[in-house]
Amino acid sequence: MKARVFVTLKPSVFDPQGSTIAEALHSLGYASITDVRQGKYFELDLGVATAADAERLAAEVAGKVLANPIIESFRIELPDAAAEPSLSGAQR
Closest CB to other proteins among 16 and 85? 16
Closest CB 85 distance from other proteins, rounded Å:
30
| Cβ proximity of 58 and 44 under 8 Å | yes
For position 85 contacting other proteins by CB under 8 A, the verdict is: no
Q: Per CB under 8 A, which region of 25-33, 51-59, 66-74, 82-90 contacts other proteins?
A: 66-74
DSSP code string of 53-76? HHHHHHHHHIIIIIS-TTTEEEEE
Among 13, 33, 49, 82, which residue sits at the site for other proteins (rule: CB under 8 A)?
13
